[in-house]
Structure 1
Amino acid sequence: MPKSRKRIYCLLLLSFLLGIGLLIRFLPHEPLKQRFPYSVAVYDEQQNLLRLTTAKDQKYRLWTPLEQLSPQLVEAVLFQEDEWFYYHFGVNPYGLLRGATQTYLLGGTPQGGSTITMQLARILWDIDSRKISGKIEQILRAIQLELQYSKHDILEAYFNFAPYGRNVEGAGTASLIYFNKANKNLNLAEAMILAILPKNPNGYIQQNNNQLNPQLFNARNKLYQRWITEHPQDRQWQSHFTLNYPLRSLEKLPFFAPHFTDQVLQYYADSDAIQNGQIVTSLNSGLQRLVERISRRYLAQQKHYGVTNMAVLVVDNRTMQIKTLIGSGDYFNTQISGQINGTLAKRSYGSTLKPFIYGLAFDQGLAHPKTILKDLPTNFADYQPEIMKVISSGR
């Protein structure tokens, strides 16, 4: 084949590939944030967590903007997983070659050589990258991501969709669940725990996390030893890496002021006003605990009178904001229909109207404080009111 014809074919091929690339780049595509549903975190007025729900797919997943993540966590992940992230096109050929050599030629510990973008592609399209066909798809999808999204968007999505054990996804979600703090407030040791977790989330996280899994403890400390060769100033935090940080288990997540949080979640169920899955309420947790203790004591004292249930609502009369809400004596007691919110239940006003009726009667001169009212059966057309004791006293 003449050289001129080869050049033409090469130019046609390059033009075709360039056209495909431009088509992928500029065709409409949804924001990565919209790929999955999200949890909702409800907080009190002091930003204490009241409840964290699961998303519609039963995952704990909150969206945390990249700017609100710990800079040390972001740097540690790039340091460990993908040092060339900002320079490659989604695939690191050297990393792939090294991983293939280690896995298939030398028979060592399997290494995928995946970049951050490739890992995100595997998550988004649920790719089985252990197969050669899956690895090829993963590479192509990674290139697609690089063409369609910025490096910022890709890195942000990775940190929000990466697995962190059991049904926890996202670094922001993991820091809230495991450490009960915002991701940006993590110390270096905590950040490195989260940097390690996605490598083996189901192996590192156990149901009882009173102490770090020994494998996770050792992996975190190995990463730290590598880290201080590049960041010698962080030797000052060496004592933190001797500590065995407990991770809060999912079973110990707060379920506080249940009737109140139910009401809030129902109100915001179809609302677009929730920012990144967070709702900050007016509830005062300290006052809520105090009123709960008083309520339990009152029910215990009144039990022999047959009192088994009660509801309490405390409102700031200046702002009309709810500060305390107790919907029943026991949310989990089915015998008293404990999950029904008594502060919302419709019921007869009964004697609660009497002070207002008496007040109107006084204002209109129909009665005075010493007026004696007849306690006799009375009919109003077809209506005959009755009182609880049924028997009239005659006046």
Structure 2
Amino acid sequence: MARPGKKTPPRGKARRKTTGTRRTRRRSAERPALFERVLRWLLFGVVLRTAWWIGLRAGVVVAVILGGTTWYYYETLPPMEQLLDGRDRGSVTLLDRNGRTFAWRGEQYQTLRAADASPHLVNAVLATEDRRFYDHFGLDPRGIVRALVSNARAGRVVQGGSTITQQVAKLLFFENTRSLERHIKQIPVVLAMELRYSKDDILSIYLNRAYLGAGAQGFEAAARRYFNKSARSVTPAEAAMLAGLLKAPSRYAPTSDIEAAQGRADVILGLMEEQGRLSRVEADLARALPAELSAAAAARAGSHFADWVMGSGPDFLTGATTEDVVMATTFDPRIQRAAVQALDEVFETRVKPGSKAQAAIVVLSPDGAVRAMVGGRNIGRAGQFNRAAQALRQPGSAFKPMVYAAGLEAGLDPNSLVSDSPLTIDVPGSGPWSPKNYTRDYRGDITLTEAFRDSVNTVAVRVSEYAGRGKVRQIARDLGIGQDLAQGPALALGVSEITLLELTGAYAAILNGGRRSEPYGLLDLRLKQDNQLLMGTDRVPPVPVLSETTAGQLVYMMSEVVANGTGRRAQLPDRPAAGKTGTTQAARDAWFVGFTGDYVTGVWMGNDDNTPLRGVTGGGLPAAIWREAMLRIHEGLPPSPLPMLVPPPPRGLAVAASDVRRADPVAENILNSVLNSIFGLSN
């Protein structure tokens, strides 16, 4: 009810008045907000225009700089052919006696063009390194994004984003530059390369400069190193194995770990199949028949010989050469195979499985030319230690030819009688020393030939003392043994440490009529490019050391060792042979060194840690290895006679003593006293 005296406004008018007031207030509030928005847009436009202005000019500056540097690199890049070989060092190609390559050293290299390579090899490289190589301009944003995604999912780096062109730029200019700096700096180089060279040119540079392990620079050298074939004809499995080396050449080199190399190749085959570069059937076949090393690569044929002969030339032409050189050698692969097969045959059939015993073999021609060298068995971590040329071991009785050569030069002959009886020598500073025979018994008076044939120690010492230790050492040195030799009477029993190669060379001199036959392997050294002769053979001219009579008599005595003595297991069925056994104290070393009319072969057996062998003497397993090797070496060769001088019926010093007895009894007593006290000779 309305109050009296006061009018109530109509409802409609009151509402209109209230609504109008609100609208007025809203408009008043919206005016500043609209103004702020307009002002904000105006400011944003100014900033945007400013940024665009700055960005445009910065872009122009960057484009000018990029264009200028790209043009600079474009003008300065050399012809593609000059970029194929990126080695710091050269290579040495080793040829055998027939002129065929059997080994490489250094960074070997052989040119390969992309157009000539096996399509499987090109596909394997592109599948793993740059699948869009032929579609991008040197930089691949899609590839970078794909790599980032793959790495993020894996939580580690599993894929790179660099193109092959970028990798070539790195190899050429930025190998020692940090990653971020390299990626920035290589942009103009990559663009310049894409402008300067064709895609096939860039790929050719990559195929030739990539290092693929085992001294192989480029895919052609690697294919020949691992598969003994050209990269032009590799199979999908071989191509995948080669491409797999790009990730880690040392780790995946098939010469160091064939299983790891095959596993990496399976990954590459999967990529090739996924990208349509191989059909499923082809990929399955390649997985079922994985790539294998060639026989030569697997056997590392001639590796010990190659390492040894590399030392024959000056280091600047061999080990540190910056040129590609060719070394012609005396190596004979047929004889090398014979030696390896003989060693394997004996260890497989006559040695307890799992034996850690080592062995070495050297084969020479009579003039000292080294035809084969087996530096050890490939067991455990045997490595590349060359037991034939590097191991210093005691030769035992295998040293006795030097002792008997001194005795023959001093006037003895194969029929001279010498006493096999107990002997004691006072060694200054050491006291009395008494040599013992292997059989621990004594036979009285025996001929020099019998003593040598049966390896009688007391007689060897008496001969050494008679001829003089200095004479024995001198003959050994003249025959090519360069190590320091023992000074005491034990010299005669082979207690001095020497190498198998030295000892075999001394035996070669005996076969060579007493003329020194120092082992040699180098025939000549030439530049590969123009065949220019750099160095001739390292053969030492033969120098007479022994008289022909002494050498001939010694050959006869050594033939008796094989025919009737301690080396009977070395007998050959179709030709004469001569040699000498050797077994050191406690059987730590066992030797057999001998020859036919054509070849001289030395065999050593022992343990690397110098522990004793079990049940092995020089006349046992070493003689058996020697025989197996010589049977194979002489296969198809006609027998050659030995240059031996067979002695007349026995007279020697015993007869001379009888003549003295009849002529002068006093002289007889004096002579017997001297011979018995000094030499032990008797009538």
TM-score range, shorter chain: 0.5 to 0.7
Amino acid at match of 2:175: D
CA contact (8 A) 1:258 1:331 kept: no
Counterpart-to-counterpart distance in 2, 1:137 and 1:13: 13
Question: Aligned letter for 2:161?
Answer: G
1:104 Cα deviation from its structure 2 partner: 5.5
Cα shift readout 1:150-179 (whole Å, capped 9, x = no counterpart):
433321221222232465432222222222
RMSD: 5.3
2:222 match: 174
Offset of 1:52 from its aligned partner?
0.9
Inter-partner Cα distance in structure 1 for 2:85 and 2:503: 35
User: For 1:331 and 1:117, how far apart are their aligned partners in 2?
Assistant: 54
SS in 2 for 1:41: strand
Residues 283-331 of structure 1 deviation map (CA, whole Å, 9 limit, x = unaligned): 89568869x957279999x98757957xxxxxxxxxxxxxxxxxxx948
Q: Please give the per-residue CA displacement for 1:127-155, whole angstroms capped at 9, x wherever unaligned.
A: 466x4334334545433443454433321
1:240 to partner: Cα distance: 4.4
| Aligned with 1:114 (options 162, 173, 191) | 162
- Among 91, 105, 108, which residue is 1:39 paired with? 91
Residue matched to 2:272: 227
**Pairing of 1:81-100 with structure 2 (within 5 A):** 81-100=129-148
Equivalences for residues 1-395 of structure 1 within 5 A = 14-15=63-64, 17-27=66-76, 29=78, 31-33=82-84, 35-37=86-88, 38-43=90-95, 48-54=100-106, 60-66=107-113, 67=115, 69-103=117-151, 107-124=155-172, 125-127=174-176, 131-165=179-213, 168-205=216-253, 208-209=256-257, 211-213=258-260, 216-228=261-273, 230-231=276-277, 235=281, 238-243=284-289, 245-247=291-293, 248=297, 254=303, 255=305, 277=324, 279=326, 285=332, 295=365, 308=479, 330=501, 338-339=519-520
CA distance in 2, matches of 1:281, 1:110: 46
Matched residue of 1:53: which SS? strand
Tell me the CA shift for residue 28 of structure 1: 5.4
In structure 2, distance between residues paired with 1:61 and 1:5: 54
Q: Encode CA deviations 1:104-132: one digit per residue, 9 max, x unaligned.
A: 58735443211112222333322466x43
In terms of Rg, which structure is larger?
Answer: 2
Task: Name the CA distance, whole Å, in 2 between partners of 1:223 and 1:162.
Answer: 17
Contact 1:177 1:253 in 2 (8 A): no
Is residue 140–residue 163 contact of structure 2 (8 Å, CA) maintained in 1? yes
Aligned to 2:25: none
Shift of 1:262: 5.9
Contact 2:128 2:271 in 1 (8 A): no
**Structure-1 residue corresponding to 2:616:** none
- Compared with structure 1, are the counterparts of its residues 116 and 45 closer, same or farther at alpha carbon in structure 2 (3 Å cutoff)? farther
Indicate if the aligned counterparts of 1:332 and 1:339 stay in contact, CA closer than 8 A: no
Q: Which amino acid aligns with 1:100?
A: L
Decide whether the 8 Å contact of 1:89 with 1:143 is kept in 2: yes
The 3 A distance-change label for structure 1 pair 182 and 48 is farther
Residues in 1 aligned to 2:230 and 2:203: alpha-carbon distance in whole angstroms: 19
What one-letter code is carried by the residue in structure 2 that aligns with 1:221?
D
Change (3 A) 1:133 1:12: closer
Q: Give 1:267 deviation, angstroms.
A: 9.2
| Secondary structure at the counterpart of residue 198 of structure 1 | coil
* Matched position secondary structure for 1:29: coil
Matched-pair contact (CA < 8 Å) for 1:212–1:245? no
Q: CA deviation at 1:340?
A: 7.9
Q: For residues 341 and 6 of structure 1, what CA distance do their matches in structure 2 show?
A: 69
Q: Is the 8 A contact 1:176 1:183 kept in 2?
A: yes
Alignment CA distance shift 1:113-1:252 (3 Å): farther
1:108–1:233 distance in 2 versus 1, CA, 3 Å? closer
Describe the SS at the equivalent of 1:212. Answer: helix
The Cα of 1:206 is off from its aligned counterpart by 7.3
Q: In structure 2, give the amino acid aligned to 1:295.
A: S
2:105/2:215 contact within 8 Å kept: no
| Counterpart-to-counterpart distance in 2, 1:33 and 1:181 | 20
Please tell me the residue identity of whatever aligns with 1:220.
A
Q: 1:174 to 1:217 in 2, by over 3 A?
A: same
Letter in 2 for 1:74: V
Asked if 2 retains the 8 angstrom alpha-carbon contact of 1:50 and 1:261, the reply is no
Are the equivalent residues in 2 in contact too, given 1:77–1:195 (CA < 8 A)? yes
Give the corresponding residue for 2:617: none
Report the Cα distance in structure 2 between the residues aligned to 1:202 and 1:237, rounded to whole angstroms.
25
Range 233-242 or range 154-163, more displaced: 233-242
Write out per-residue CA displacement over residues 220-262 of structure 1, whole angstroms, 9 at most, x where no aligned residue: 2243244346256672574442345454479666445976996
The answer to whether the 8 A contact 1:40-1:52 is kept is yes
Amino acid at match of 2:269: Y
CA contact (8 A) 1:70 1:184 kept: yes
C-alpha change, 1:102 and 1:167, in structure 2 (3 Å) is same
Q: Secondary structure at the match of 2:245?
A: helix
Q: Partners of 1:345 and 1:283 in 2: how far apart?
A: 11
Indicate the SS of the match to 1:51: strand
Q: Separation in 1 of the partners of 2:316 and 2:262? A: 41
Q: Contact 1:43–1:278 (CA<8 Å) still a contact in 2?
A: no
Q: Are the counterparts in 1 of residues 222 and 242 from structure 2 also a CA contact under 8 Å? A: yes
Deviation of the 1:25 alpha carbon = 0.9
Measure, in 1, the Cα distance between the counterparts of 2:86 and 2:233: 27
TM-aligned CA distance change 1:227 to 1:259, over 3 Å: closer
Is the 2:220–2:230 Cα contact (8 Å) retained in structure 1?
A: yes
